[in-house]
Chains A and B, each alone.
Chain A
Amino acid sequence: NAGVTQTPEFQVLKTGQSMTLQCAQDMNHEYMSWYRQDPGMGLRLIHYSVGAGITDQGEVPNGYNVSRSTTEDFPLRLLSAAPSQTSVYFCASSYSTSSSSYEQYFGPGTRLTVT
């Protein structure tokens, strides 16, 4: 298994540009999520999905859109990039039930700089 893959690894955007960060997993996980990590800080949840067609907001959703059309893919779209969105973005996936808790698998991250 490739696990959780993210593309691109690095990206530089100008203010106002839009782009999509890609995330895919091949473990048939129902749950997927996006986090951002600013320098010296812990991760903060942006959006998450408990299955295809179902998404919800996390702690810091403003400026980002997500969709989940397949189990495997969970892209994150930046609508109009701002310098405050300069960060490292991590995608994660896991099994999901209402009766237990599971380990999350994280991707290698996308390092985004907005100038």
Chain B
Amino acid sequence: DAKTTQPNSMESNEEEPVHLPCNHSTISGTDYIHWYRQLPSQGPEYVIHGLTSNVNNRMASLAIAEDRKSSTLILHRATLRDAAVYYCILDDQGAQKLVFGQGTRLTINP
């Protein structure tokens, strides 16, 4: 399975943008890039996914590098509720067998 590398933790301030990086240098052409987040004591929550082009939705934006070896999840205006563990995951050919790493623990300061 293609693997991803994320920083263990990041910190930001409320109402500021947050850029969460993810490296996936061994990505294949059929791997979709997914982001999920997990709030304390809850199940993971889907954030966004993409294949080649940048994607936007009501929660976040996903910026994918031209060579697809890295991506960045962008939270445009962080709130305290965005404090969570964020997972960057590759889905091979849409097989849906997600492989969760350790993720990035995001702390938001008031």
For B42-70 the 0/1 string (1 means CB < 8 A from A) is 11111001010000000000000000000
B residues within 8 A CB of A99?
Answer: 94
Number of interface residues of A (CB under 8 A): 29
Which residues between 10 and 29 of chain A lie within 8 Å of chain B, taking CB atoms?
A: none
Q: CA of A97 to CA of B101 in the docked complex: distance in angstroms? A: 24
CB of B98 within 8 Å of the partner chain: yes
For A59-102 the 0/1 string (1 means CB < 8 A from B) is 10000000000000000000000000000001010101111111
A104 touches B94 (CB 8 A): no
B43 touches A101 (CB 8 A): no
Number of interface residues of B (CB under 8 A): 22
A44 touches B100 (CB 8 A): yes
Q: Of all chain B residues, which has the CB nearest A32?
A: B96
Which residues between 23 and 39 of chain B lie within 8 Å of chain A, taking CB atoms?
A: 32, 34, 36
CB distance from A86 to the nearest CB of B (A): 16
Which residues between 32 and 60 of chain A lie within 8 Å of chain B, taking CB atoms?
A: 33, 35, 41-45, 48, 58-59
A106 touches B45 (CB 8 A): yes
B49 touches A101 (CB 8 A): yes
B102 touches A33 (CB 8 A): no
Contact of B91 among A43, A101, A109 (CB under 8 A): A101
B residues within 8 A CB of A105?
Answer: 46
Which of B's residues lie within 8 Å of A, judged by CB?
A: 32, 34, 36, 42-46, 49, 51, 87, 91, 93-94, 96-103
Q: A33-B96, A109-B42 are in contact. List 17 more A-B contacts (CB 8 A).
A: A31-B96, A41-B102, A42-B87, A43-B98, A58-B97, A92-B44, A96-B94, A97-B94, A98-B94, A101-B49, A103-B34, A103-B49, A104-B44, A104-B96, A105-B46, A106-B45, A108-B42
Closest 3 CB pairs of A and B: A42-B100, A106-B43, A103-B46
